[in-house]
Amino acid sequence: MLYRSEPTKQPKLLRRPFTVQSDGLYGTDGLDSQIEIVCISEEEKEGVIGQAVVSMEVAKSMEPIPVGYCRADLAVEIEQIFNESYKQGRKPIGEVRICRYQQLRVCSFLDYLRGGTSLKFAIAIDFSIRDPANVTHNDYQQYSNDIEFVVRCLADTLEPFNPTNSWPSYGFGAKIPPHYRDSNNFCLSLDVDATCQGVNGILNAFGKSYQNVHPLQGAKFAQIIYHLAKQAQNNFNRANEPLNYYVLFIITRGSIEDLKETVQAAIFASKAPISIVFVGVGCEGLDEIERMGNAGKRLEFQGRKSERDNLQFVNATKTRLECDNYADMSTVFLEKSLQQVPWQCSTFYMQNHVLPGKSSSESVETSSGGLTVASSSRRPSSAHGQMEEEEEARMRTTSSSSGPALDHFRSRRNRLSTEMRSMTLDDSR
């Protein structure tokens, strides 16, 4: 069976789009296979309502396909559908028409890596504590051990995909020197450059920050997600730039204060080439983060839905407790935290019609019925209008000089609306 559609009681309807592998349609020898279309009833007394057998060439012609009461014995003429048990020799009961046919090239994660796509890794550490007054030295030591375990597992394993061994590293959920004001997006090294070199660079920056910052009782995740998502989107929009896919690891104890804003930020990030992995530390207070990380495309806020699944959650502390030795801890943790990233990466580029090895200035055209990209920009069509609206809304609430800033974003949005061409790809599969 190649595909089974959803049940319905309507006599006339448009079925949902679906996707099947080309091997099932053409066979391993590349020749056309006979496709049998069967209309059945879920009631036992009805059984098979009608059937038709056609070739792929007939199906692609988008001509009506008659469906008869019994299986057709056909080679070319699809009209010869009949029922020997019926007194008049034949009983047509309806017709099926292929409304749209597209032959898509499905690219894997390795195809994009071989085509020149680079992976950009970033890390953000949550310094907030629910009850800062009762923090003990053992709590600090345990948290430091968890951070070191996560950083070493990720940095050592991902080093082959990160030739420069540089990690943009951020902190949030703390009051930072010299004025000790609340901050939810600062460089982990407390410097102007967020880049840290390798494992030791990240751990040294974390130790420096932990000794100098004052933790807050709750953290706001939205700012750091917006920051990295905009970096990824701006890089994606540049012409003649190689493809870069971003992966953000957020290490947190779960003291989230802005759940609604974080959901909006995650929906915003679903339109950008970025995956977000929430790494939970501790065994309590992570329920909300876990639900959001496992929500996938079900994430929704005020009518806006996530365009794709780019989130993931893993509990590092529970993973360590489940294993007996460090090798098993590292293996299980990496499997849980990275297993969705390859699929999320290839899905994003396929949705936006970007093939391996193609830059934004190159137009990609396939044969008739295939996908076509004729725009010099790689911005997702369904994203550019909403992204500018979200930026404008955020500017209303965060910018003290909102007048000039809003005028800038309005002009930028209008310019993009006239220059960008629409690119869509159904992802109902």
Which tens digits make up the pLDDT trace of 81-133? 333 344 454 566 677 777 777 777 778 899 999 988 999 999 999 999 887 77
Is 77 in the same domain as 151? Answer: no
Task: Please indicate, yes or no, whether residues 140 and 78 belong to a single structural domain of this protein.
Answer: no
pLDDT top residue among 291 and 64: 291
Residue 408 pLDDT class (50, 70, 90 cuts):
low
Which of the pair, 359 or 280, is modelled with greater confidence? 280
Residues 153, 218 within the same domain: yes
Given a cut of 50, is residue 18 above it in pLDDT?
yes
What mean pLDDT comes out for the span 327-343?
91
Kindly tell me if the per-residue pLDDT of 74 is higher than 50: no
Domain assignment of residue 70, yes or no? yes
pLDDT of residue 349: 92
Higher-pLDDT residue of 91 and 182 is: 182
Q: Are residues 42 and 161 in the same domain?
A: no
Is the same domain home to 29 and 175?
no
Average pLDDT over residues 310-320: 91
- Looking up residue 125, the CATH number of its domain turns out to be 3.40.50.410
34 assigned to some structural domain: yes
Instruction: Tell me if 9 is assigned to some domain.
Output: no
- Tell me the Cα Rg of the chain: 27
Return the amino acid letter for 38: V
pLDDT band with cut points at 50, 70 and 90 for residue 425: very low
Residue 49 inside a domain? The answer is: yes
In a domain, 396, yes or no: no
CB half-sphere exposure, 294, CA atoms < 13 A: 11
What single string gives the DSSP state of each residue in 254-306?
A: S-BS-HHHHHHHHHHHTTSSEEEEEEE-SSSS-HHHHHHHT-GGG-EETTEE-
Residues 113 and 93 in one domain: no
Tokens linked to 310: 């780019």
* Residues in contact with 371: Cβ distance below 8 Å, sequence separation at least 6, in sequence order: 102, 104, 105, 353, 364, 425
Q: Tell me which of 32-41, 273-282, 291-300, 373-382 is least confident.
A: 373-382
Residue 300 β-bridge partners: 305
Q: What is the residue range of 232's domain?
A: 109-352
Looking at the structure, tell me whether residues 244 and 165 fall in a common domain.
yes
Question: Residue 249's pLDDT is what?
Answer: 97
**Do 78 and 190 belong together in one domain?**
no
How many domains are there within the chain?
Answer: 2
Q: Give the end of a domain, one of 313, 333, 352.
A: 352
Give the model's pLDDT for residue 427. 37
Residue 40 has pLDDT above 90, yes or no: no
- Confidence check: pLDDT of 415 > 80: no
Q: Is residue 167 part of a domain?
A: yes
Flag whether pLDDT at 361 surpasses 80: no
pLDDT digits (tens, 9 = 90+) for 141-164: 888 889 999 999 999 899 888 888
255/295 same-domain check = yes
Query: Residue 428: inside a domain, yes or no?
Result: no
Encode burial over 245-274: b for 16+ CB neighbours within 10 A, e otherwise. Answer: bbbbbbbbbbbbbbeebbbbbbbbbbbbbb
**Residue 379 domain-assigned?**
no
Looking at 69-83, 172-186, 316-330, which range is the least confident one?
Answer: 69-83
Band (pLDDT 50/70/90 cuts) for residue 17 is: confident
206 shares a domain with 62: no
Taking residues 66-82, report their average pLDDT.
38
Query: Average pLDDT, stretch 290-301?
Result: 85
| Residues 162 and 274 reside in one and the same domain | yes
Q: What percent of the chain has pLDDT over 90?
A: 33
Give the strand pairing for 118-126 and 244-252.
Answer: parallel
Q: Give the mean pLDDT of 256-267.
A: 92
- Of the residues 352, 374, 398, the one at which a domain ends: 352
Q: Mean pLDDT over all residues of the chain?
A: 76
End-of-domain residue from the set 352, 372, 404: 352
Q: In this model, does residue 401 exceed pLDDT 70?
A: no
Comparison of pLDDT for 101 and 363, the residue scoring more: 101
- Are 126 and 87 in a shared domain? no
Residue 69 binned pLDDT confidence (cut-offs 50, 70, 90): very low
